[in-house]
Amino acid sequence: MTILLQDDSKVDLLLTDVVMPGINGRELGRRAHQIRPGLKILYMTGYSRNAVVHQGKLDEGVNLLEKPIS
């Protein structure tokens, strides 16, 4: 997160897992958008899209990669 606070850092994309210890990917994405509103976020998960959307972990229509990624 601290790299997003640095004015001279160039970040084009945040890649984050949906389920993580401590802070989940959705919360990380929300905080990242507060710091950099135009930042693109790509979520990934080992769970199915249906599972993470219906459990409230992600909103429908977000960019999601399902693991394993080939």
Domains and CATH numbers, the chain: 12-66 (3.40.50.2300)
Q: 3-state DSSP call for residue 42?
A: strand
CA distance linking residue 26 with residue 31, whole number of Å: 9
Per-residue pLDDT, 34: 95
pTM confidence score: 0.74
For residues 27 and 56, the answer to whether their CB atoms sit within 8 Å is no
| pLDDT: which is higher, 53 or 22 | 22
26-70 pLDDT, tens digit per residue, is: 899 999 999 999 999 998 887 766 666 656 566 666 777 888 887
- Characterise 40 by phi-psi region: left (phi > 0), alpha (psi -120 to 50), beta (else): beta
Residue 38 CB burial class (10 angstroms; 0-12, 13-18, ≥19): exposed
- With residue 31 as reference, give the H or E element that holds it: helix 25-35
